[in-house]
């Protein structure tokens, strides 16, 4: 009996998706709940598991095609996979003395496949294009000879081998020759672009800045990081301090946690903080729910879990919806100062930046201190400059004197 494989229900407001890559081909045996294919929407990547065990009978939609919810994309024939016929034994060569040489050669030089002609996943395609690599010369270890991200990273780390260099196209003879590459945006990248334009066109964005001395936070992390990690099995990072400081500041200035709906201001009496995570496919913002009730360890644990899900392409739509405020950290990439863009329908976003040692005047003396610029971009339609400035001051006070986070000041 044949069973249809259909595109699962897509997230709300999403009408179509892109079939990224099949993990099986017709004739392959499949087990129930085994992932058959990845489907990319403008928000998340969905896995389509096999509903039954059997054999993949037919693939109706190829890689790269556009699909909609409930579209039939393949058929599975229930039952056991047919046994493969044994291949006839190759006739022995007359020169028996050459056989040991061939055998020894095969032991020392295993055959390698390359990614030539195989469809590339979004993360692999992006790596190849960014570094101008030829996928045809990169050894591939994935299923059916597909390139994996690990293959590309390993190739870049080791550098091209001599055979790869020999197969590589010669450099242009003319000095100063220029080339152009045109690459279609992924659904997620197109959606990010759409939302950024929407944010700029529908909000009155303004950015205020302050700076924070992170010496006290760094001292706490240095003193307790080993014990913290042993007890909670998660690393004590900076983000938990910023999330907890943001909650305190939002409680003091609730309009920063509000949103605009028609002619109304909607105040949220809960604190769901989005934390921006960078992936190969783009920026995603998983949401930590009820951050006022979370411990430092719970904040760090949830961030680490969401980051892994995002980078593995397994983030769910419910993980990235419904936040009331966002924190983003450009400092991990070396950014010293920036003006982040609001994530609608939220009304503000806090930007963290690189920690830079600078000479500061402390109690009348010049000292070298670990300083960070912080930025708050806000919707000036409902948030006045006074609220924005006082919000940043509250963040600064909490981080420069972390005891305030413990005694509720």
Q: Residue 177 corresponds to which tokens in the numbers above?
A: 């020759």
Tens digits of residue pLDDT in 57-103: 888 888 878 888 788 888 888 766 555 444 555 554 444 444 444 44
Residue 147 lies in a domain: no
Q: Which of 78, 111, 141 is the last residue of a domain?
A: 78
Residue 29 lies in a domain: yes
Residue 167 lies in a domain: no
Range of the domain at 379: 205-407
Whether residue 42 lies in the annotated active site: no
Q: Is 32 helix (H, G, I), strand (E, B) or coil?
A: coil
Residue 127 lies in a domain: no
Nearest to 256 by CA among 144, 394, 81: 394
On the question of pLDDT at 110 being above 50, the answer is no
Residue 116 lies in a domain: no
Clarify whether residues 212 and 348 are in a common domain: yes
282/229: higher pLDDT: 229
Confirm if 374 and 392 have CB atoms less than 8 A apart. Answer: yes
Give the number of other CB atoms < 10 A from CB of residue 178: 6
CA angle, corner 334, sides to 214 and 341, nearest 5?
90
CA dihedral 351, 357, 361, 365 (to 10 degrees): 160
Phi, psi of 192 (to 5 degrees): -60, -45
The model's confidence at residue 148, banded by pLDDT at 50, 70 and 90, is: confident
Q: Which of 78, 96, 115 is the last residue of a domain?
A: 78
Residue 83 lies in a domain: no
Burial of 402 (0-12, 13-18, 19+ CB in 10 A): middle
On the question of pLDDT at 51 being above 80, the answer is yes
Nearest to 374 by CA among 364, 389, 387: 389
Q: Give the chain's length.
A: 409
Q: How many helices (H) and strands (E) does the chain have?
A: 10, 19
Nearest to 374 by CA among 402, 359, 394: 394
Residue 38, domain CATH: 2.40.50.100
Mean pLDDT over 126-131 rounds to 75
Residue 230 lies in a domain: yes
Confirm if 70 and 47 have CB atoms less than 8 A apart. Answer: no
CA atoms within 13 A on the CB side of 260: 17
- The residue from 227, 312, 384, 401 that is catalytic is 384
The model's confidence at residue 11, banded by pLDDT at 50, 70 and 90, is: low
Looking at every residue in the chain, the average pLDDT score rounds to 81
- The residue from 380, 387, 401, 408 that is catalytic is 380
Phi, psi of 157 (to 5 degrees): -70, -40
The model's confidence at residue 176, banded by pLDDT at 50, 70 and 90, is: low
Clarify whether residues 220 and 74 are in a common domain: no
For a pLDDT cut of 90, what percent of the chain falls above it?
38
Residue 308 lies in a domain: yes
Q: State how far the Cα of 178 lies from the Cα of 397, in Å rounded to an integer.
A: 52
Clarify whether residues 74 and 209 are in a common domain: no
Q: Which of 78, 95, 125 is the last residue of a domain?
A: 78
Tens digits of residue pLDDT in 309-353: 887 777 777 888 889 999 999 988 889 999 999 988 899 999 999
**Number of domain units in the chain:** 2
pLDDT at 55: 87
**DSSP designation for 344:** T
On the question of pLDDT at 37 being above 90, the answer is no
Whether residue 108 lies in the annotated active site: no
Residue 395, domain CATH: 3.30.559.10
């Amino acid at each position: 009996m044949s069973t249809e494989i259909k595109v699962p229900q897509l997230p709300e407001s999403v009408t179509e998706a892109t079939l990224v890559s099949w993990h099986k081909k017709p004739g392959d045996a499949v087990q129930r709940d085994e992932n058959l294919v990845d489907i990319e929407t403008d928000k998340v990547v969905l896995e389509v598991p096999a509903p039954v065990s059997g054999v993949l009978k037919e693939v109706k939609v190829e890689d790269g095609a556009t699909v909609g919810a409930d579209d039939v994309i393949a058929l599975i024939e229930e039952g056991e996979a047919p046994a493969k016929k044994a291949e006839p034994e190759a006739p022995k060569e007359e020169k028996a003395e050459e056989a040991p040489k061939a055998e020894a050669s095969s032991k020392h030089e295993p055959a390698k496949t390359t990614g030539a002609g195989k469809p590339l996943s979004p993360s692999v395609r992006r790596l190849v294009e960014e570094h101008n690599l030829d996928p045809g010369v990169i050894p591939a270890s994935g299923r059916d000879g597909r390139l994996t991200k690990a293959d590309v990273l390993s190739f870049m780390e080791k550098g091209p081998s001599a055979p790869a260099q020999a197969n590589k196209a010669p450099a242009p003879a003319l000095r100063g020759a220029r080339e152009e590459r045109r690459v279609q945006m992924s659904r997620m990248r197109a959606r990010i672009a759409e939302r950024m334009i929407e944010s700029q066109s529908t909000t009155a964005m303004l950015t205020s800045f302050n700076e924070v001395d992170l010496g006290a936070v760094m001292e706490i992390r240095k003193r307790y990081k080993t014990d913290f990690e042993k007890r909670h099995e998660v690393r004590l990072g900076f983000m938990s301090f910023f999330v907890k400081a943001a909650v305190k500041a939002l409680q003091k200035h609730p309009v920063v946690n509000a949103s605009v709906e028609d002619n109304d201001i909607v105040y949220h009496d809960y604190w769901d903080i989005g934390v921006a995570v960078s992936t190969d496919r783009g920026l995603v913002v998983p949401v930590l729910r009820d951050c006022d009730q979370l411990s430092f360890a719970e904040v760090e644990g949830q961030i680490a879990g969401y980051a892994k899900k995002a980078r593995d392409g397994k983030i769910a739509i419910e993980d990235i919806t419904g936040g009331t405020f966002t924190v983003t950290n450009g400092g991990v990439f070396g950014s010293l100062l920036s003006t982040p863009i609001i994530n609608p329908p939220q009304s503000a976003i806090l930007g963290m930046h690189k920690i830079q040692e600078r000479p500061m005047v402390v109690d009348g003396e010049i000292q070298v201190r670990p300083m960070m610029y912080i930025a708050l971009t806000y919707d000036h339609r409902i948030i006045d400059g006074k609220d924005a400035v006082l919000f940043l001051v509250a963040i600064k006070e909490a981080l420069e004197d972390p005891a305030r986070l413990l005694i509720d000041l």
